[in-house]
Each structure stands twice: as structure tokens, then as C-alpha cells.
């Protein structure tokens, strides 16, 4: 420890403390010195291997190469060999950026920063002038990762899968179109979350949804116990065409939001508690009682379109009443999907519109990937709900288990 402190004192001797972390300061000098030390060590190892194999080779001077790092532009002295067979691992022959530089760009992009904002950030903090084409090239490299991620194998059983969509403006054939981006968020048996996939489609319909569900099945999903959807036309039929025993549940949050579209702004606050009473009251004589009470009440009479909307979706609202309170708490709030949508909308808002589907997919994947890194553990409600799932659906959750009890009905 004393030797380390003595070395630090020598390095800092005579230096202005404000310049230690500045551009071309002590840290940049150390990074340059360490990089050149590593490069020379790599060449020594390469020449030793060449000699062992009986090849005659030796050092042949140095060449200068400018590379971008996460904090500066740095000129390195790259050692060369006479045979020209040396290809450094630290900085490859045609590489102009340290790996951490690309990581910084991708991290900024994932946080919703535009290309212009990333350029300004690098220029202001590090004095590095980076072209828009370079930033695009770095982030475009993510597309290969996206393709691999979108086709990865999935677990066999998901107790819960939330399907939702956000609208994104994307340039297509010379026009900016309002496209839907669909997201599937799965809850695994241990309560942890996983994004199953992202799909971009201009129009929604049963054929599109059938393709999505078949894709999930082909990637290994054998059973979904409950699929929570937002009332998209043709979606429940598509799910049950592939997973016949899956209980399709309309998202209560989306149904309430849709109901409020019929309500004047000044009435929305008092209408919300009346809507919640439809599914929250205890000890009802029938599952329809809450809806019938709302329909006969003041707000049901004032806004009859609300009751009509709930009745149209009632087949996929009813399953909610069959579950214990612990399971309802998992299904109803949809905190996970709502939190994701909030992050996505915040990132999308800064763009205005995207140049292509790939550009949109690239950003959305990075935002979702960043959000997934924050998922450390299952929600506390899950541990109680897991026991209830075992009671409701049975210990075996295989889609091929004909003995699994059904809870869907009116």
C-alpha cells in the first residue's frame, strides 16, 4: 500500500489537480501508456509463437494510429512486425475505436438521446468530433443482436403473458405512418419477467396475431396459463387457436381507459371509482351484479356507451372474478407493462418519427434491454399468487395436460 501511495504521489507531483481528469490530462496519459505497453506485450508474445513454429520474424518499428476512447481521441504508437502477421487484440488493424467507446454511444442512444445530442455530448465533455454516420454505424450493429434475440428459444410455460402495443411514427414508402409496436411481457414460474418479443405492424388483425402466437410456440412456448390483452380485435381467437386452454383476460386498466373516452373531462374523476366497483365489490350474488349496479346507477344512465363496451368484452372480463385476490393483484395493475410503456414513450417522444422499421426496432430493443437489467426479483405479490396458480391450474401446467381445469366461462 505504501508503494502504491508513493507511486501516486510521484504521478501527481507538480500537476494541477484540475487537469488530472481533464482531456489530455493524467488519466488520458496513463491510458495511452498502458495501451502501448499492452500492444508491445502482445507483439512479444506473437514473435515468440512465430519462433516456436519455426518462422523468422522480428520487430519492424511503429506506426501511429488515432483511436477514439470513451473520454478522448488518442494517438497510439502501434508496434509492427516485419512479416506483417501481427494483429493486435487490443486494437485490431482496422479498428478505430476502443470497445468501451461503442458501449457509451449505445448507452446514450438507449436512454433516448438523438444522434445530434450524442454528438454534442461527446464534443462538450471530451472534445471528440464524431460524425452522424459513425454513431449510426455503431447503433446499427445492434440489429444483428436484435435478430438473434427475437429468435432465441423460450421457456415451455408462462403463467402470465401481457400483450400490449404503443403507437410509433415511422417513415414508410415516402410517408410517415402511425404504426403499432407490439410487446409481449412474460412472467416465469418463479415470478421473474422476460420480454418475449417485439413486433412492428401497420395494421392489427387476426392473421397478424396468429403469426405472433405461432412464432412463440415455434420458439418453445408450450403453455400460457393467462394471456392479458387490451381488447384488440381477433387476438383472443388467435391465442386460443394455438393454445386452446389459455385463459384470455381483457386488461382491466385498458378497459377503464377506453370507458373514459365516452366521459366528459369534468366527470372522469368521479366515474373512475364507479368503474372500479364493477370488479372490486365482494360477496356478489353473480359476476354480473357489479356491471348491473353500474348500469342502473347515475353514471351508467348518463354514459350508456360504457356499459355496452364492458358487455362486448364481458366474456374476457369474467375470468378475473374466478381468481383469488392475490392473483387479481398480479393481473389488474399491469405495473410491469405500464412501466415499460412509459420508458418506451419517453424514448420515442424525442425522435418525432423514425426513418425505418429497423431504426424503431433498434431503439426499442435497447430501451427494453436496459429496463430488463433493472429487474432483480419477483414482485412481492407473486409468492402468494404462485400458490393460488397451483390451486387454480393444477401442479402441471403443460399445454398437453388434458386434466388442467378451465376457469373461463360466464
CA 268 to chain centre: 32
- φ, ψ of residue 216 to 5 degrees: the values are -60, -40
- Reference 356, options 182, 132, 212, 143; nearest CA is 143
* Distance of alpha carbon 241 from alpha carbon 249, whole angstroms: 15
* Distance of alpha carbon 234 from alpha carbon 211, whole angstroms: 12
* Distance of alpha carbon 296 from alpha carbon 335, whole angstroms: 31
Q: What is the DSSP letter of 354?
A: B
Across 196-214, average pLDDT:
81
pLDDT-based confidence at residue 24 (cuts at 50, 70, 90): low
Q: CA torsion, points 260, 264, 266, 271, in degrees to nearest 10? A: -40
152's grid cell = 432465441
pLDDT digits (tens, 9 = 90+) for 238-258: 899 999 988 888 877 778 888
pLDDT of 220 higher than 90: yes
CB pairs under 8 A, 24+ apart, for 296-302? 299/267, 299/270, 299/271, 299/274, 300/274, 302/267
pLDDT-based confidence at residue 5 (cuts at 50, 70, 90): low
Residue 165: beta bridge partners? 182
* Distance of alpha carbon 322 from alpha carbon 318, whole angstroms: 7
* Greater pLDDT, 268 or 328: 268
* Distance of alpha carbon 240 from alpha carbon 34, whole angstroms: 60
- Reference 112, options 367, 354, 369; nearest CA is 367
pLDDT-based confidence at residue 104 (cuts at 50, 70, 90): confident
What distance, in Å, lies between the first and last C-alpha atoms of the chain? Answer: 74
317's grid cell = 372480463
340 neighbors 368 (Cβ within 8 angstroms) = yes
Q: Which range scores top for mean pLDDT: 113-117, 317-321, 354-358? A: 354-358
Ramachandran class of 358: left when φ > 0, alpha when ψ lies in -120 to 50, beta otherwise? alpha
pLDDT digits (tens, 9 = 90+) for 369-380: 878 777 777 777
Lowest mean pLDDT across 14-23, 48-57, 65-74:
14-23
- Reference 95, options 65, 70, 119; nearest CA is 65
Amino acid at each position: 500500500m505504501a508503494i502504491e501511495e508513493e507511486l501516486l504521489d510521484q504521478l501527481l507531483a507538480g500537476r494541477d489537480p484540475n487537469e488530472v481528469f481533464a482531456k489530455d490530462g493524467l488519466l488520458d496519459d496513463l491510458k495511452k501508456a498502458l495501451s502501448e505497453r499492452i500492444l508491445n506485450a502482445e507483439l512479444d508474445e506473437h514473435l515468440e509463437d512465430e519462433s516456436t513454429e519455426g518462422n523468422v520474424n522480428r520487430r519492424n518499428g511503429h506506426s501511429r494510429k488515432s483511436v477514439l476512447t470513451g473520454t478522448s481521441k488518442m494517438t497510439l504508437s502501434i508496434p509492427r512486425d516485419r512479416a506483417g502477421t501481427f494483429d493486435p487484440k487490443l486494437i485490431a488493424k482496422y479498428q478505430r475505436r476502443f470497445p468501451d467507446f461503442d458501449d457509451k454511444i449505445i448507452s446514450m442512444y438507449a436512454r433516448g438521446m438523438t444522434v445530434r445530442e450524442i454528438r454534442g455530448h461527446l464534443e462538450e465533455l471530451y472534445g471528440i468530433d464524431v460524425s452522424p454516420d459513425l454513431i449510426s454505424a455503431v447503433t446499427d450493429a445492434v440489429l444483428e443482436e436484435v435478430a438473434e434475440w427475437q429468435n432465441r428459444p423460450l421457456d415451455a410455460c408462462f403463467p402470465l403473458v401481457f400483450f400490449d402495443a404503443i403507437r410509433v411514427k415511422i417513415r414508410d414508402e415516402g410517408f410517415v405512418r402511425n404504426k403499432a409496436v407490439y410487446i409481449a411481457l412474460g412472467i416465469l414460474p418463479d415470478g421473474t419477467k422476460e420480454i418475449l418479443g417485439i413486433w412492428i405492424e401497420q395494421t392489427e388483425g387476426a392473421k397478424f396475431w396468429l403469426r405472433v402466437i405461432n412464432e412463440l410456440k415455434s420458439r418453445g412456448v408450450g403453455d400460457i396459463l393467462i394471456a392479458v390483452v387490451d381488447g384488440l380485435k381477433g387476438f383472443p381467437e388467435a391465442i386460443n387457436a394455438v393454445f386452446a386452454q389459455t385463459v384470455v383476460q381483457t386488461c382491466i386498466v385498458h378497459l377503464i381507459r377506453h370507458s373514459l373516452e365516452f366521459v366528459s373531462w369534468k366527470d372522469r374523476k368521479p366515474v373512475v371509482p364507479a368503474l372500479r366497483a364493477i370488479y372490486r365489490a365482494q360477496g356478489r350474488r353473480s359476476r354480473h351484479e357489479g356491471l348491473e349496479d353500474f348500469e342502473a346507477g347515475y353514471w351508467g344512465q348518463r354514459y350508456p356507451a360504457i356499459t355496452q363496451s364492458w358487455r362486448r368484452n364481458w366474456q374476457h372480463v369474467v375470468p378475473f372474478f374466478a381468481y383469488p385476490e392475490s392473483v387479481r393483484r398480479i393481473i389488474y395493475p399491469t405495473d410491469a407493462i405500464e412501466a415499460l410503456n412509459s420508458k418506451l414513450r419517453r424514448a420515442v417522444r424525442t425522435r418525432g418519427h423514425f426513418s425505418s422499421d429497423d431504426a424503431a426496432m433498434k431503439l426499442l430493443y435497447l430501451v427494453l434491454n436496459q429496463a430488463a437489467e433493472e429487474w432483480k426479483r419477483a414482485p412481492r405479490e407473486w409468492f402468494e399468487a404462485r400458490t393460488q396458480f397451483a390451486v387454480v391450474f393444477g401442479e402441471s401446467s403443460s399445454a398437453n395436460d388434458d386434466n388442467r381445469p378451465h376457469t373461463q366461462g360466464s
